[in-house]
């Protein structure tokens, strides 16, 4: 875009006034990039076409990550991926997103455009449409560049049911890739540490990968036969997801050596005293499947670009109900507990 079309090279309070500058901002930054028939109506509410048969799924999340740009992603990509993934792990097909922006006065328009470009590109990759939204401008110092809220709408097909209550003793537990990438990538970018580590956020939309797993598991019958539950391991990481699942009353046991962790992530984590099991992820999910489906699910994950490093990391057990137990490479066991504090705030 040519900045000469704007009255200013930076965001000013008048961009949120509802007047000429607001309409200019909407037209030149948002409508150009999020162009679709629903949004083009510019109504106060998006008028959606009839939805496919199934159960409606709705989720919302807010993104305040700092810095706005980090290796492998940015706040815009994160906002789309996070909401798409929250829908997808419930078994829903993500369809539509809304987005709300709180923008700080003085933000360069170029920065806003980069973020919106990233959102548009990620939405296209995920196959969703951004159909409604809002912008607010606050005084300099009242925010931190940009905060974004996204709400997502999807449909869960008949017969699909993914919930921790469906877990059974003997079920296998898998992840689609290495853990800890996002948390370490953001931390290194934020703190400016002089650590030469090639760490990139795993931020990615997982809906296509999840759809392939459900299709493989169900075959021609549809539904979610054999796939018990899924969760994207975001804040609190893999360990926190497993602890939440254990609250269902069953035990969970994982093998430390089976959990994939990139060497660079492991090295940085050890140096800084962090545990990759608790580090945030934005493109890594954990899923539980019936034992007879474990190898098939693993092969399906590995056949997808976002699952090439998938692994079976443990199983559900009737032993030690309500607890997550980790087996170390030396044969010892330790209890994995819920994250008590925050390894790194403002990670998403």
Q: Grade residue 1 by pLDDT with cuts at 50, 70 and 90.
A: very low
User: How much is the average pLDDT of 298-321?
Assistant: 97
Please say whether the structural domain 164-336 has been given the CATH code 3.90.650.10.
Answer: yes
pLDDT at position 239, please? 97
Q: How far apart are CA 189 and CA 203, in angstroms?
A: 15
Q: Which residue in 179, 162, 339, 155 sits closest to 258, CA to CA?
A: 179
pTM over 0.85: yes
Q: Where in the chain is the domain with CATH 3.30.1330.10?
A: 3-156
Query: Which helix (H) or strand (E) segment is 128 a member of?
Result: none
Q: What phi and psi, each to the nearest 5 degrees, are found at residue 196?
A: -85, 90
**182-222 tens-digit pLDDT:** 999 999 998 877 676 789 999 999 999 999 999 988 754 55
- Listing DSSP states for 180-205 in one string gives SHHHHHHHHHHHT-------------
How confident is the prediction for the chain on average, in pLDDT? 93
Share of the chain above pLDDT 90, in %: 86
User: How much is the average pLDDT of 220-238?
Assistant: 84
Q: Answer yes or no: are the C-beta atoms of 9 and 108 closer than 8 Å.
A: yes
User: How much is the average pLDDT of 8-31?
Assistant: 92
How far does Cα 91 stand from its chain's mean position?
Answer: 14
Query: Which helix (H) or strand (E) segment is 336 a member of?
Result: strand 333-336
Q: How far apart are CA 38 and CA 130, in angstroms?
A: 9
User: How much is the average pLDDT of 95-123?
Assistant: 98
**117-148 tens-digit pLDDT:** 999 999 999 999 999 999 999 999 999 999 99
Q: How far apart are CA 24 and CA 149, in angstroms?
A: 21
Beta-strand ranges (E) seen in 181-268 are: 227-232, 251-255
Strand 92-104 relative to strand 129-138: parallel, antiparallel, unpaired?
parallel
Q: Where does residue 68 rank: exposed (0-12), middle (13-18), buried (19+ CB within 10 A)?
A: buried
**313-332 tens-digit pLDDT:** 999 999 999 999 999 999 89
CATH code: domain 3-156 is 3.30.1330.10
Q: Where in the chain is the domain with CATH 3.90.650.10?
A: 164-336
Does 4 score more than 50 pLDDT?
A: no
Distances, alpha carbon 281 to alpha carbons 127, 200, 286, in Å: 21, 11, 11
Q: Grade residue 6 by pLDDT with cuts at 50, 70 and 90.
A: low
How far does Cα 204 stand from its chain's mean position?
Answer: 7
Crossing angle of the two packed helices 263-272 and 181-191, in degrees rounded to 10: 60
Does 334 score more than 60 pLDDT?
A: yes
Lowest mean pLDDT of 30-44, 112-126, 148-162, 185-199, name the range.
185-199
Q: How far apart are CA 120 and CA 125, in angstroms?
A: 9
């Amino acid at each position: 875009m040519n900045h000469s079309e704007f009255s200013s090279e930076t965001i000013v309070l008048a961009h949120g006034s509802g007047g000429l500058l607001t309409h200019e901002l909407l037209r030149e930054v948002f409508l150009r990039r999020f162009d679709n028939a629903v949004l083009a109506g510019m109504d106060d509410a998006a008028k959606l076409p009839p939805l496919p048969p199934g159960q409606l799924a709705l989720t919302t999340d807010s993104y305040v990550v700092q810095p706005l740009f980090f290796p492998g992603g940015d706040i815009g990509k994160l906002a789309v991926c996070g909401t798409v993934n929250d829908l997808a792990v419930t078994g829903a097909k993500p369809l539509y997103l809304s987005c709300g922006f709180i923008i700080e006065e003085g933000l360069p328009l170029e920065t806003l455009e980069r973020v919106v470009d990233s959102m548009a590109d990620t939405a296209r990759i995920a196959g969703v449409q951004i159909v409604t939204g809002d912008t607010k401008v606050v005084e300099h110092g009242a925010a931190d560049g940009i905060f974004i809220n996204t709400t997502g709408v999807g449909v869960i097909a008949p017969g699909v049911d993914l919930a921790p209550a469906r877990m059974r003793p003997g079920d296998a537990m898998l992840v689609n890739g290495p853990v800890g990438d996002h948390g370490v990538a953001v931390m290194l970018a934020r703190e400016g540490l002089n650590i030469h580590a090639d760490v990139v956020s795993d931020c990615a939309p997982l809906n296509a990968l999840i759809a392939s797993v459900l299709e493989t598991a169900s075959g021609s019958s549809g539904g979610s036969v054999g796939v018990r539950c899924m969760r994207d391991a975001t804040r609190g990481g893999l360990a926190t997801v497993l602890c939440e699942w254990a609250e269902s009353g069953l035990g969970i046991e994982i093998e430390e050596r089976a959990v994939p962790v990139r060497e660079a992530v492991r090295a940085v984590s050890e140096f800084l005293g962090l545990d990759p099991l608790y580090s945030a992820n934005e493109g890594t999910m954990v899923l539980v499947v019936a034992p007879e489906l474990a190898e098939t699910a693993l092969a399906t994950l590995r056949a997808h670009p976002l699952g090439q490093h998938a692994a079976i990391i443990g199983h559900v057990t009737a032993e030690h109900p309500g607890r997550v137990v980790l087996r170390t490479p030396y044969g010892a066991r330790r209890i994995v507990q819920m994250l008590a504090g925050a390894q790194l705030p403002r990670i998403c």
